[in-house]
Amino acid sequence: MKPIGLIEIILYVRDMPRQVAFYRDSIGLDISFPTGQTDYSAENWVTFASGACHLALHSGGQERLGADTPMLVFGVDDIHSAWQELRARGIQIGEVFSAAPGVWVAHAFDPEGNPIAIEQQEK
């Protein structure tokens, strides 16, 4: 399995509007999804264009603000082949699931317990 690169870092957040304002207004990142909104309080997922790797804010943490470790997400061309190859290499990886329409994901952990994922996006 050769990842096509680190495509996303997921940061779990509690206060989405405050975090969106920080990364958009203070840091200066452009929102890539969802665009054209003024109120992000009902959003569970907001992504920012930040070069080759997106920053994604996700409200799905376990309410351990600052302790919900960011997740590194590696893009792959064929998630099922990549999943099988990682299993063959001894990595305990969860089942492939659809995270959103056209987005397939499987979660695992590195040797120190940091969350990682592989992801395939339909083009």
Whole-angstrom CA distances from 39 to 26, 45, 53, 54 are 17, 13, 24, 21
pTM over 0.75, yes/no: no
Q: Domain residues of the chain, as ranges?
A: 5-121
119 class by beta-carbon count within 10 Å (0-12 exposed, 13-18 middle, 19+ buried): buried
Q: Class of 5-121 per CATH?
A: alpha beta
The pLDDT tens digits along the chain (123 residues) read 677 788 889 888 888 998 899 888 977 889 999 999 999 999 999 999 988 888 888 887 666 655 567 888 988 999 999 999 989 988 899 999 999 899 999 999 887 677 889 999 987
